[in-house]
Amino acid sequence: MRQAVVGMGLPSRLGRLPGARFLFGRFARSVLTLMTGTTVSQILPVLIAPVLTRLYAPDEFGTFAIYAAWCLIIGAAATGRYELAIMLPESDEEAINLAVLSAVIALAVSAACLAAILLLGPPLRSLSGTGRVPVWLYLVPATVALASLRAVATYWLNRRQEYRMIASNRIVQSGASACGQLGFAFFPWGGGLIAGNILGNGIAAFSLCRRVWKEEKGKKHAVCRRSLLKEAGRYRKFPQFSVAGGLLNTISFQMPAILFSSLYSPVVLGYYAIVERILSLPTLLISTSVADVFRQRASDEYRRNGNCRGLLLRSTFSLALFGLAPFCALVVFGPAAFFLVFGDKWGNAGVYARLLAVMFLFRFVFSPMAGTVIQVTERLGIDTIWQSALLVLSFLSIFTGYYFFGSVYVSLVLYAAVCSAMYLAAFALAFLFSARSPARPAGCR
């Protein structure tokens, strides 16, 4: 009997421990839901990666990386970044207008992009790193539109705390892309990596937008031109500052792909692309799921109390515990692991992974939380300055390795050092901004 009483009292005692509500409460369950969906969605690319590296050559991965760079750079500004504000209004009527505004802007930008490509197609060929990219350049606007609509719908469901739907949609997108990339590998015209990616984005965007429309179509009466303009003006700081910051951030991430292709070769880019694909997995798998839930909780706490610092520290510390051991193992076993798993053509990619391991660890631990806090606190001007510095320093680091040393390894080491320092600086800024000062009351932007 005594043991039974003790056992029954254990949960209540655990609940009184510091941080127990964070570890076992609703926040943790929401993170687990998203993490489960993200885990399943990322297992498929990991499982098929050894197959893909035997079906596609390194230069084909390089071609895909150039295509992805175009999509991501344009997509960073396609919505005017208004989707980031969907979490902030207290009323759903204001939020639904922000969602519609984001979607309309995305479709307009995609249409303008297609028109520009049709008019300027021949000159754009000179900007590509490989000869085959222009063939797929005409599909970039469609990919941007699909990805943007999916992002808007995801933010809306995040606001509604429908984490299961978000998680299942990630699985749909990943599964469709994986099947497409495997299947299209046997088609004679090539480009299977790109075609599979388009297929996955299309299916995922359609299913998610259909779900949102089915559940929220009753709110369409709240959407009108006047309300759209009102919300556009109320959250104008997002296009004013966050678009520039988002573009700078995306260009910073995609610049290595462009520079490695133009300064070195598509094969070097292929090695970098597979490393980026694999080492970004922990960020996609864990820290992005934590950040998705953190965004909703941090927005609520900062709006009500003017302080989300405790949540920031607990989330970051948890990510550090998750990430330290795997990335340390990568430094030791990286080259051998890549040679064994991906084939004899990819052993050199393991050396790249070893040199970039610390940078990816810092990105995993600091970047998602820091970026979310800066958005929630609307310190978008600071974010633009930080992104500008990251862009300039990243370019200089890679170019210095090429111009002065003629070595891709020096370029990688310098790039990793610069990015690691910048991620640490971003976290310091987020810590500073996570508690509103008395001189900055709620509602003051």
pLDDT in tens, 83-120: 888 888 888 888 888 889 999 999 999 999 999 888 87
Q: CA-CA-CA-CA torsion for 162, 167, 172, 177, nearest 10 degrees? A: 130
How far apart, in whole angstroms, are the C-alpha atoms of residue 265 and residue 337?
Answer: 24
Residue 191 backbone dihedrals phi, psi, to 5 degrees: 75, 25
CB 98 within 8 A of CB 85: yes
pLDDT at 324 over 50: yes
How far apart, in whole angstroms, are the C-alpha atoms of residue 416 and residue 422?
Answer: 10
State the residue for tokens 């990386």. Answer: 65
Confidence of residue 27 (pLDDT cuts 50, 70, 90): low
pLDDT at 177 over 90: yes
Q: 387: exposed, middle or buried (C-beta count within 10 Å: 0-12, 13-18, 19+)?
A: buried
How far apart, in whole angstroms, are the C-alpha atoms of residue 307 and residue 312?
Answer: 10
How far apart, in whole angstroms, are the C-alpha atoms of residue 329 and residue 186?
Answer: 35
At 433 the pLDDT is 87
**Residue 75, Cβ neighbours under 10 Å: how many?**
24
Three-class DSSP category at 87: coil
Confidence of residue 438 (pLDDT cuts 50, 70, 90): low
pLDDT at 423 over 90: yes
Digit-coded pLDDT (tens) for 239-276 = 887 787 778 778 878 888 888 988 888 889 989 989 98
CB 415 within 8 A of CB 391: no
Confidence of residue 141 (pLDDT cuts 50, 70, 90): very high
How far apart, in whole angstroms, are the C-alpha atoms of residue 240 and residue 212?
Answer: 28
- The string of DSSP codes covering 220-286 is GGG--HHHHHHHHHHTTHIIIIIHHHHHHHHHHHHHHHHHIIIII-HHHHHHHHHHHHHHTHHIIII
How far apart, in whole angstroms, are the C-alpha atoms of residue 178 and residue 170?
Answer: 12
Q: For 380-443, where are the alpha helices, taking DSSP H only?
A: 380-400, 408-433
pLDDT at 424 over 90: yes
**Residue 337, Cβ neighbours under 10 Å: how many?**
17
With a pLDDT cut of 90, the percent of the chain lying above it is 25
pLDDT at 22 over 50: no
At 8 the pLDDT is 40
State the residue for tokens 């995801």. Answer: 154
199 or 436, which is more confident? 199
In the 8-state DSSP scheme, what is residue 377?
Answer: T
Q: Which residues pair with residue 307 across a beta bridge?
A: 435
**Residue 252, Cβ neighbours under 10 Å: how many?**
21
Digit-coded pLDDT (tens) for 380-409 = 778 778 888 988 999 999 999 999 999 999
At 199 the pLDDT is 95
Question: Per mean pLDDT, which range of 135-149, 167-181, 300-314 is the poorest?
Answer: 300-314
How far apart, in whole angstroms, are the C-alpha atoms of residue 69 and residue 129?
Answer: 11
Question: Per mean pLDDT, which range of 79-83, 217-221, 296-300, 422-426 is the poorest?
Answer: 217-221
At 413 the pLDDT is 95
In the 8-state DSSP scheme, what is residue 57?
Answer: -
Q: Which residues pair with residue 435 across a beta bridge?
A: 307
Confidence of residue 9 (pLDDT cuts 50, 70, 90): very low
What number is the average pLDDT over the span 153-163?
87
User: What is the residue-averaged pLDDT of the chain?
Assistant: 82
Confidence of residue 443 (pLDDT cuts 50, 70, 90): very low
**Cα-trace Rg, the chain:** 22
**What does the angle CA 272 – CA 417 – CA 431 come to, to the nearest 5 degrees?**
115
**What does the angle CA 44 – CA 250 – CA 178 come to, to the nearest 5 degrees?**
15
What number is the average pLDDT over the span 431-443?
66
No. of helices (H) and no. of strands (E), the chain? 19, 0
pLDDT at 11 over 60: no
pLDDT at 227 over 70: yes
